[in-house]
Amino acid sequence: MSGASGGEATGGARWPGRGTRCGPARPAVTLTRSSAAAAATEQGRGCALFGKSYADCPMIFLCLSQVLEMFNHAYSNYMEHAYPADELMPLTCRGRVRGQEPSRGDVDDALGKFSLTLIDTLDTLVVLNKNKEFEEAVKKVIKDVNLDNDIVVSVFETNIRVLGGLLGGHSVAIMLKDKGEYMQWYSGELLHMAKELGYKLLPAFNTSSGLPYPRVNLKFGVRNPDARTGTETDTCTACAGTLILEFAALSRFTGASIFEEYARKALDFIWEKRQRSSNLVGVTINIHTGDWVRKDSGVGAGIDSYYEYLLKAYVLLGDDSFLERFNTHYDAIMRYISQPPLLLDVHIHKPMLNARTWMDSLLAFFPGLQVLKGDIRPAIETHEMLYQVIKKHNFLPEAFTTDFRVHWAQHPLRPEFAESTYFLYKATGDPYYLEVGKTLIENLNKYARVPCGFAAMKDVRTGSHEDRMDSFFLAEMFKYLYLLFADKEDMVFDIEDYIFTTEAHLLPLWLSTTNQTISKKNLTTEYTELDDSNFDWTCPNTQILFPNDPMYAQSIREPLKNVVDKSCPRGIARVEESLGTGPKPPLRARDFMASNPEHLEILKKMGVSLIHLKDGRVQLVQHAIQAASSLDAEDGLRFMQEMIELSSQQQKEQQLPPRAVQIVSHPFFGRVVLTAGPAQFGTDLSKHKAGTRGFVATIKPYNGCSEITNPEAVKEKIALMQRGQCMFAEKARNIQKAGAIGGIVIDDNEGSSSDTAPLFQMAGDGKNTDDITIPMLFLFNKEGNIILDAIREYEAVEVLLSDKAKDRDLEMENMEQKFSENYSHKQSSDESLRSQDPSLVSQQPAEDENSDTVHLDSLSVDADTDSVSISNQDSYILENHEASIQETECTTLNNQPQEQTEMETDSDSNVNWDDDDDKVQPMESILADWNEDIEAFEMMEKDEL
């Protein structure tokens, strides 16, 4: 989900119906290449010699050409191997058809057997000057696509991708027809299909609130005996609030007002149900009652495009009420959620209380929206933070913590960061953002490119792939990257005449004066009195804000340049803390020291009691009525939640990071990457960047629990063995004695996979393991069988054991080219099917009968006492953390060697918390006075993007 208006970002469009708050129509401001000619030299930051020809600016020309080549690679493979399926499966070179592949849950709700990727890509073809291909694609859509399928789809996804794609295609089709060269035969066929689809979505709005059901059957609607949907009670705020652009455009194009009326009613209802004291909305709402099911609020998953569509509805439709609502929400966002450079979720009823200590990748769109708003400084700050996370992990993880560690390791090739990069470049003219775009291009080619397209990352830490290329990758990523490097002469039309939907589809701004059948009654002021200063930043004149001075953006970025790797992020502190103003900041869990009397006094003030139990455990209990004030009580609950998050995070940090097994021989050539579990003994692959490379061999006996009887087959090779019957360290010693250079233990539980089972690290046998000098890795059964199948098929299979996947070298590329002449496409596809199934790592340890794996007990809740007790090992973690704080306030935010933490925990788990030798454990507390917040905490743990 992404998008902001190209017109607003550059200030060049004329928008009717904006009211008087924007003042008179401003002069067009176009940040051309010549306007920033003096900003830098080609040897400095990118090619900033914008007044020259492409020959003088090779970086821009090469990037533009590469974007086109990459798009061709992805699009042609979809058309060749997948069409008319909804999506391309790039690892196995085939189409993904709903019902014919294993279900991926809610992810598959976007698939409706309506050639999703082709429809989603229509207007991208025109943006990239592929007008002939566009004309052919439109003919295919008209001829082949069926919208009357008996299939249940997401109302939200179908709206933004399919309805938006059809409307975007229609918008550029009539533009090309007017120009007189292409589409002369076109008679609005895409618009007719869009209207048909719009009517198929309308049954979802059959609720008393006007909020739509989250899913609809394309053929039977909802609540029909054959519909298989209509029993849902909840929907996400973005799902119900991201309809107005497409539905209003459909009404304006066709004259049928019903679509815009339904979308407006849904927006009106959400606005009325906002939390009145904070002006925030929650993530999930009951579609019948309007009650907030999830009361946490942010700008990422579940809410993001609701805010986006309020502002863009004002731009497209010229209705001041949408602008007033957006500015009211934006003021709340900047007051509570924005903690520069971070954007952290809070509770709508207690907005000073952080709801979580991690962020999801969908919030990367927000800097682009801030450009549209005109609030450039925080946009630059958040964008720079996100860019540093990308430089650390190559891609933006699906979720990451406030100290920039991976929380969810997937990356489905989302385009939101590229979107914000484009708009920041248009707003500032700083060529730094061209370099950012160049980095995105390089990372996509280096880590995501596969023979049949681009594959989503299953784990950014190991480089493993997922057999997935979502339609938004073609619809948005290449559109934004092309626009970033393109000049006006590279376009066949003026992008500033259009607004981008959240899926980056193009809707013409002239719709604001067409078929205005909706009354513009201002509902906003019925609910709230607005401070007119909210509008100070609306419709900024970029020529005044940024007088062709790219150094402006650089001056804002400079303090943040080391925020990820070398310094503490200050974002978790409130704004007044960072400015050194306002009251003294509240006590944070990360700073707490039990031996500090002042800290204990603060706990007492917050209503938090320290209770020593007879068995040596310690409980923290909070009673709001015992706090000195309501604000102190709120700080107390925040402190308890931070303690929970801190303990949980440090438990995860105890696990050694996952390792990679990369098959580098023919026909894989490094493209197959399997996520493996590490060992607490043997070679530490994180300290040997080259890894261990060698051919694999199966040992005899296969369990490796006695002397190896085929040492001649194992010598100088990587030994494969079965899990079970003895300790892991014993297996390692036996294969090392036989001359193996490494070992891979394969799980003996049939069908086990890291997709479903948590990965763990192999422990030693309680003895000194310094004698083991080879690397050992663990693969679950499903991943291990990929290697065993490859041996049966190709005999000689070479792998690389490393901390993460390595680049394919030139030798591999040459071998691949040579072998490709000898192997048919079918063989290639079959081989991919057998081999490409990399695994996602879960960060929780699993029990193993063969190992002495160190476990951290889960937080145990005692509902009767409203308190939580934590294990002694957890106690040590907190104590270790506490001692480190005395050395440097940044300790908990830096990346410490994780294997060192593990060894310390194993060898010294009885550290005293205070002078009375009482052991203290990190703690969680269920408080009767705060039931709704505790419910939100529990629900967030189960939440998925």
Q: What mean pLDDT do residues 367-379 have? A: 95
334 within a domain of the structure (yes/no): no
List C-alpha distances in Å: 283 to 234, 235, 270, 297, 407. 10, 9, 11, 6, 19
**Lowest mean pLDDT across 181-185, 202-206, 216-220, 667-671:** 667-671
User: Residue 377 and residue 341: Cα distance in Å, rounded?
Assistant: 10
Evaluate the omega torsion of the peptide bond into residue 84 and state whether it is cis, within 30 degrees of 0.
Answer: yes
Q: What mean pLDDT do residues 445-467 have? A: 94
On the 0-12 / 13-18 / 19+ scale of CB atoms within 10 A, 21 is middle
Is residue 297 scored above 60 in pLDDT?
A: yes
Strand partners, 676: 659
Q: How high is the pLDDT of residue 655?
A: 53
CATH of the domain at 97: 1.50.10.10
684 and 753, same domain (yes or no): yes
Q: What mean pLDDT do residues 181-204 have? A: 97
* Three-state DSSP class for residue 400: strand
3-state secondary structure 685-737: HHHCCCCEEEEEEECCCCCCCCCCCCHHHHCCCEEEEECCCCCHHHHHHHHHH
pTM value > 0.75? no
Q: How high is the pLDDT of residue 549?
A: 63
| Number of CB atoms found within 10 A of residue 533's CB | 9
848 within a domain of the structure (yes/no): no
User: Residue 419 and residue 362: Cα distance in Å, rounded?
Assistant: 11
On the 0-12 / 13-18 / 19+ scale of CB atoms within 10 A, 600 is middle
Angle at which helix 376-393 crosses helix 416-428, to 10 degrees, equals 130
Name the domain boundary from 450, 483, 513.
Answer: 513
714 and 728, same domain (yes or no): yes
Helix (H) or strand (E) segment spanning residue 744: strand 742-746
128 within a domain of the structure (yes/no): yes
CB 61 within 8 A of CB 487: no
* Three-state DSSP class for residue 450: strand
Amino acid at 288: H
502 among annotated binding-site residues? yes
Helix (H) or strand (E) segment spanning residue 371: helix 366-373
Closest CA to 29 of 6, 56, 63: 6
pLDDT digits (tens, 9 = 90+) for 542-569: 444 444 566 778 888 888 877 786 533 3
User: Residue 345 and residue 645: Cα distance in Å, rounded?
Assistant: 14
699 and 776, same domain (yes or no): yes
Q: Angle 38-42-47 (CA atoms, 0-180°, nearest 5)?
A: 85
Q: How do 742-746 and 718-722 pair as beta strands?
A: parallel
837 within a domain of the structure (yes/no): no
Is residue 23 scored above 60 in pLDDT?
A: no
User: Residue 160 and residue 441: Cα distance in Å, rounded?
Assistant: 25
CATH of the domain at 725: 3.50.30.30
pLDDT digits (tens, 9 = 90+) for 238-289: 999 999 999 999 999 999 999 999 999 999 999 999 999 999 999 999 999 9
Q: How do 608-612 and 506-508 pair as beta strands?
A: unpaired
Q: Could you give phi then psi for residue 424, rounded to 5 degrees? A: -65, -35
List C-alpha distances in Å: 423 to 14, 420, 429, 697. 18, 5, 10, 53
Joined tokens for residue 849: 């009968």
Q: How high is the pLDDT of residue 891?
A: 29
More confident of the two residues 669 and 740? 740
640 and 762, same domain (yes or no): no
pLDDT digits (tens, 9 = 90+) for 92-134: 999 999 999 988 889 999 999 999 999 999 999 999 999 999 9
User: Residue 675 and residue 499: Cα distance in Å, rounded?
Assistant: 42
598 and 665, same domain (yes or no): no
pLDDT band at 472 (very low <50, low <70, confident <90, very high): very high
User: Residue 31 and residue 11: Cα distance in Å, rounded?
Assistant: 9
Amino acid at 43: Q
625 and 750, same domain (yes or no): no
Helix (H) or strand (E) segment spanning residue 861: strand 860-862
Instruction: Indicate if 503 belongs to the active site.
Output: no
331 within a domain of the structure (yes/no): no
**Lowest mean pLDDT across 704-718, 891-905, 922-936:** 891-905
Helix (H) or strand (E) segment spanning residue 605: helix 597-605
The Cβ-side half-sphere exposure at 471, using a 13 Å CA radius, reads: 35
Strand partners, 401: 358
**Lowest mean pLDDT across 581-585, 889-893, 924-928:** 889-893
Helix (H) or strand (E) segment spanning residue 887: helix 872-887
Q: How high is the pLDDT of residue 670?
A: 85
Q: Exactly one of 416, 466, 635, 783 is catalytic; which is it?
A: 416
Share of the chain above pLDDT 70, in %: 71
Q: How high is the pLDDT of residue 611?
A: 74
| Number of CB atoms found within 10 A of residue 833's CB | 15
pLDDT band at 208 (very low <50, low <70, confident <90, very high): very high
* Three-state DSSP class for residue 604: helix
More confident of the two residues 902 and 796? 796
Residue ranges with strand state E in 194-236: 215-217, 234-236
191 and 90, same domain (yes or no): yes
Per the structure, the complete domain to which residue 473 belongs is given by: 56-270+297-317+421-513
Q: In what order do the strands lie in the sheet with 742-746?
A: 672-676, 659-663, 798-802, 692-698, 718-722, 742-746, 776-779
DSSP for 783-824 reads: HHHHHHHHHHHHS--EEEEESSPPPP-HHHHHHHHHHHTTS-
Instruction: Indicate if 591 belongs to the active site.
Output: no
684 and 639, same domain (yes or no): no
Strand partners, 544: none
CB 487 within 8 A of CB 867: no
Strand partners, 360: 399
478 and 626, same domain (yes or no): no
* Three-state DSSP class for residue 459: strand
Name the domain boundary from 486, 513, 540.
Answer: 513
Give the total number of structural domains in the chain.
3
Q: What mean pLDDT do residues 362-387 have? A: 96
**Lowest mean pLDDT across 389-398, 404-413, 514-523, 531-540:** 531-540
Q: What is the DSSP letter of 334?
A: I
Q: What mean pLDDT do residues 811-837 have? A: 45
Is residue 845 scored above 50 in pLDDT?
A: no
148 and 265, same domain (yes or no): yes
**Lowest mean pLDDT across 14-18, 67-71, 180-184, 428-432:** 14-18
595 and 643, same domain (yes or no): yes
H helix runs in 612-709, sequence order? 630-653
CB 839 within 8 A of CB 675: yes
pLDDT band at 636 (very low <50, low <70, confident <90, very high): confident
Is residue 52 scored above 50 in pLDDT?
A: no
pLDDT digits (tens, 9 = 90+) for 567-623: 333 333 333 343 343 455 677 776 776 667 888 888 888 888 877 665 555 677 778
Closest CA to 700 of 689, 692, 712: 712
Q: Exactly one of 304, 324, 360, 430 is catalytic; which is it?
A: 304
Q: How high is the pLDDT of residue 646?
A: 65
Write down the mean pLDDT value for the chain: 77
User: Residue 420 and residue 436: Cα distance in Å, rounded?
Assistant: 11
221 within a domain of the structure (yes/no): yes
User: Residue 750 and residue 617: Cα distance in Å, rounded?
Assistant: 41
**Lowest mean pLDDT across 465-469, 576-580, 639-643:** 576-580
**Lowest mean pLDDT across 526-535, 653-662, 843-852:** 843-852
Q: How high is the pLDDT of residue 370?
A: 96
Name the domain boundary from 808, 823, 856.
Answer: 808
Q: Exactly one of 8, 87, 157, 632 is catalytic; which is it?
A: 157
Is residue 811 scored above 60 in pLDDT?
A: no
Residues ≥6 apart with Cβ < 8 Å to 93: 77, 81, 451, 452, 825, 828, 829, 832
Helix (H) or strand (E) segment spanning residue 898: helix 898-907
Q: What is the DSSP letter of 446?
A: I
Instruction: Indicate if 615 belongs to the active site.
Output: no
The Cβ-side half-sphere exposure at 413, using a 13 Å CA radius, reads: 27
Q: What mean pLDDT do residues 11-17 have? A: 30
Q: How high is the pLDDT of residue 614?
A: 59
CB 421 within 8 A of CB 47: no
pLDDT band at 767 (very low <50, low <70, confident <90, very high): confident
CB 812 within 8 A of CB 670: yes
Q: How high is the pLDDT of residue 690?
A: 85
Share of the chain above pLDDT 90, in %: 54
Instruction: Indicate if 304 belongs to the active site.
Output: yes
Q: How high is the pLDDT of residue 558?
A: 83
Q: Exactly one of 133, 398, 496, 933 is catalytic; which is it?
A: 398
List C-alpha distances in Å: 541 to 11, 372, 423, 432. 7, 11, 15, 22
| Number of CB atoms found within 10 A of residue 829's CB | 17
Q: How do 742-746 and 776-779 pair as beta strands?
A: parallel
List C-alpha distances in Å: 196 to 148, 150, 193, 515. 9, 15, 5, 19
Q: What mean pLDDT do residues 458-487 have? A: 96
825 within a domain of the structure (yes/no): no
Joined tokens for residue 601: 């006094």
Range 110-142 burial, b when 16+ CB lie within 10 A, else e: bbbbbbbbbbbbbbbbbbbebbebbbebbeebe
Q: How high is the pLDDT of residue 615?
A: 53
The Cα diameter of the chain in Å comes to 87
138 and 89, same domain (yes or no): yes
483 within a domain of the structure (yes/no): yes
Range 426-455 burial, b when 16+ CB lie within 10 A, else e: bbbbbbbbbbbbbebbebbeebbbbbbbbb
pLDDT digits (tens, 9 = 90+) for 654-709: 455 789 999 999 888 888 889 899 998 998 888 887 899 999 999 999 999 999 99
Query: Residue 903 CA to chain centroid, in angstroms?
Result: 32
User: Residue 941 and residue 296: Cα distance in Å, rounded?
Assistant: 12
